[in-house]
Amino acid sequence: MATYTGGYDINSLLAVKTGITVAELDQDQLAASINAEIEAHNNLTQDMLSVLAETTVERIGAWGNTMRGEMIEVDEYGRAPTQNQGQPGRLAWPLRKFQHNIGWTNDFFLQATPADLALVFNAARRADALGIRRGLREAVFNPINRTVRDVFVDKTELTVRALVNADGEPIPAGPNGEEFDPNAHTHYNVTSGSTLAESDVEALISHVVEHGHGTGLTIYINQAQEAAVRGLDGFAPYVDARIIPAMDSTVGRAPLDVTRVDNRAIGLIAGAEVLVKPWIPSGYLFAFAAGDPSKPLRMRLHDVPAMQGLRLAAQFRDYPLHADIMENYYGFGAYARTNGAVLQITSGSTYTAP
């Protein structure tokens, strides 16, 4: 039987639907190509997440403190009393294990085309991306702190916190000395009416800015809210590059992306860039300072580098069955709890998680 050598990638495998089977390919080269694709997937995933979350191998940390204090006038011989700056808040990040297992019979393997193999791998890659997206949604939109056990270390109970949610944890003072009641201040709010108003968007942005986060202000929305946002008086849309605007048209600082209507920047409002994102639930808006070095979330990874990211963890060959096990360890929790605010469009007065 002929053995086909050379470099493979997922796109080239997808193109081979007839003629040869996976069994005829150079298996070492094929494995190396799959591992390269996995590494590329992990790098792209981290690049996507870097705006919202920084990665860490820590499980417990501190964030912020009250930062209260004042300058006290003294005379020539005076000495002001020392001042306590308060205790920082306690944070934790979970570590969870996810699997996507692939199984087939020996007969299938002997007859499968390279395209069949590529489709199986793409399914695993998509499952991993969807799982990470689900974790992001939970970390951003769930206002309830939760207790989890660190089952992969020592079963210590960890308190994983949401964004600022009136849980009594210390909140740093604002840039102008503003103080916030930790038992009442929350970044999970609802609109003033049953529909979205410009004042609601301005209040949402204010919840981020008042804490000193102002670099790269960003609002994520679902495509279902695009028409409502575009209808606000203060919205300045990005313009389709295929259209030559009139002299008095409002032109954004970037052309409108027409290739992905559910994943693109559409314009500016109140100093913030508005982006449509497919993972944002309908009826909710999320604002944060994308350029702030302190990210809203942390993504905890396994502390063993070889166990970070999507990987082929095991292969079982027990004739006539075959199985590949794909694994990923990660977990999300809030980090800079003030650098993020959520708005729900509802006629009710209480925030409800999607």
Tell me which residue has tokens 């705006």.
Answer: 51
Contact, 310 vs 42, CB < 8 A? Answer: yes
- CA distances for 288 relative to 181, 222, 258, angstroms: 21, 15, 24
Contact, 213 vs 295, CB < 8 A? Answer: no
Task: Give phi and psi for 288, each to the nearest 5.
Answer: -160, 165
Per-residue pLDDT, 245 = 59
Rounded CA separation 169/184 (Å): 11
Contact, 333 vs 95, CB < 8 A? Answer: no
- CA distances for 236 relative to 90, 239, 253, 254, angstroms: 40, 9, 10, 11
What residue ranges do the domains of the chain occupy? 10-63+86-344
Per-residue pLDDT, 17 = 54
Per-residue pLDDT, 5 = 41
Per-residue pLDDT, 175 = 87
Give the pLDDT of the chain (354 residues) as one tens digit per residue: 444 444 444 454 445 555 666 555 555 666 666 677 777 777 777 767 889 999 999 999 887 655 566 777 777 777 877 766 666 678 999 999 999 888 777 777 777 776 677 777 778 888 888 899 899 999 999 999 999 999 998 899 999 999 999 999 989 888 888 889 999 999 999 999 999 999 999 999 999 999 999 999 999 999 999 999 999 999 999 887 777 655 555 544 566 776 778 888 999 999 999 999 989 999 999 999 999 999 999 999 999 999 998 888 887 777 777 777 889 999 999 999 999 999 999 988 899 999
Rounded CA separation 238/268 (Å): 8
The 3-class SS string of the chain reads CCCECCCCCHHHHHCCCCCCCHHHECHHHHHHHHHHHHHHHHHHHHHHHCCCEEEECCCEEEECCCCCCCCCCCCCCCCCCCCCCCCCEEEECCCEEEEEEEEEEHHHHHHCCHHHHHHHHHHHHHHHHHHHHHHHHHHHHCCCCEEEECCCCCCCEEEECCCCECCCCCCCCCCCCCCCCCCCCECEEECCCCCCCHHHHHHHHHHHHCCCCCCCEEEEECHHHHHHHHCCCCCEECEECCCCCCCCCCCCCCEECCCCCCCEEEEEECCEEEEECCCCCCCEEEEEECCCCCCCEEEECCCCHHHECCEEEEEEEECCEEEEEEEEEEEEEECCCCCCEEEECCCCCCCCCC
Rounded CA separation 135/299 (Å): 9
Rounded CA separation 54/341 (Å): 18
Sorted by sequence, the CB contacts under 8 Å of residue 298 that are 6+ apart come out as 53, 54, 55, 56, 91, 93, 332, 333, 334, 335
Residues in the chain: 354
Contact, 265 vs 51, CB < 8 A? Answer: no
